[in-house]
Amino acid sequence: MSEDQVFAIGKHRAHLPGNFLYASTNHLWAARPDGSGIEMGPGVWRFGFTSYAIALMKDVYFLDWSLAPGLRVRHLEEIGHIETSKAESGLYCPASGILLRINETLLEDPSAINTDGYGAGWLYEIDCPEAPNHLIDATAYRKHLEDNWEHTQRVLKGGINSISDEAETQGDDNG
């Protein structure tokens, strides 16, 4: 297990607890819903926004899923939409499998994402038939954030009109 990590965004400090794994492409954390740790393997994984994602988005206003539990999802497929005080974004699936459960409370009141992002603010659970090996630990995730910070700032500044917004359907390319 990795040590807890911190990534500084200006004055804000995003905490990346060591007892979670991270889907770096989607800025989601992953953990076993039964609290049995983060040992890699197939089965049910629970996902939620990292404090880094929340720091970019600020207060969540509105969360919308285009899928219902029981349906098959593919890695990086667009599965929903979020609107916050600062941003809006499509939401993309962090792993392939069956969407098992959605945190229904958030549909009525998404504030738990901001107040308890690593706990009550969890988003959904996916039953993965194959181990989602692309998940990385907190140290690697912090490094990913550092390495991409410059690009991120450019995207935040807008004006890059060569960026595609279409969620290209991607197979499992993480091997």
Partner 1 sequence: MSGKLTVVISQAQGKHPVKRGLEESLAAALLLEPGIDLSIVPHLVDLQPGHTGRLYLEGVTGDVVILGWLYPRAAFWLLDRIGVKGQEGASPMHPKAEDDEDLTEEEKAELADRPPAIGPSGAIPDRVITCLDLRHKDKHEPYVEEIRRILVETRSRRQTKQAQQAADRAPVLMELGLPSTGTNGNGPAKSFSAEELLQAPPGRRWYPVIDYSRCTNCLECLDFCLFGVYGADGDGRITVENQDSCKKGCPACSRVCPHQAIMFPEYKTAAIAGAPVGAIGGLKIDLSKLFGGGVGGGGDAIALAAQERDRELVKDGREAVGLAAGIPKRQTDRAPAARDELDDLVDAIDKLDI
Q: CA 29 to CA 54: how far, in whole Å?
A: 12
Q: Which of 1, 6, 40, 87 binds partner 1 (CB under 8 A)?
A: 87
User: In the complex with partner 1, which residue's Cβ is closer, 1 or 87?
Assistant: 87
Strands 124-128 and 97-102: antiparallel
Q: What is the largest CA-CA distance in the chain?
A: 44
Q: Which of 154, 150, 135 is nearest to 32 (CA)?
A: 135
User: In the complex with partner 1, which residue's Cβ is closer, 8 or 156?
Assistant: 156
State yes or no: residue 166 binds partner 1 (CB under 8 A).
yes
Window 4-43: residues binding partner 1 (CB under 8 A) = 23-27
Q: Which of 30, 55, 76, 102 binds partner 1 (CB under 8 A)?
A: 76
Rounded least distance, CB 173 to partner 1, Å: 8
User: In the complex with partner 1, which residue's Cβ is closer, 5 or 26?
Assistant: 26
Q: CA 56 to CA 71: how far, in whole Å?
A: 29
Q: Which of 44, 100, 106 is nearest to 67 (CA)?
A: 100
Q: Measured on CA atoms in the order 43, 34, 77, 13, is the torsion positive or negative?
A: negative
User: In the complex with partner 1, which residue's Cβ is closer, 37 or 64?
Assistant: 64
Interface segment toward partner 1; rule CB under 8 A; list 14-22, 33-41, 83-91, 120-128: 83-91
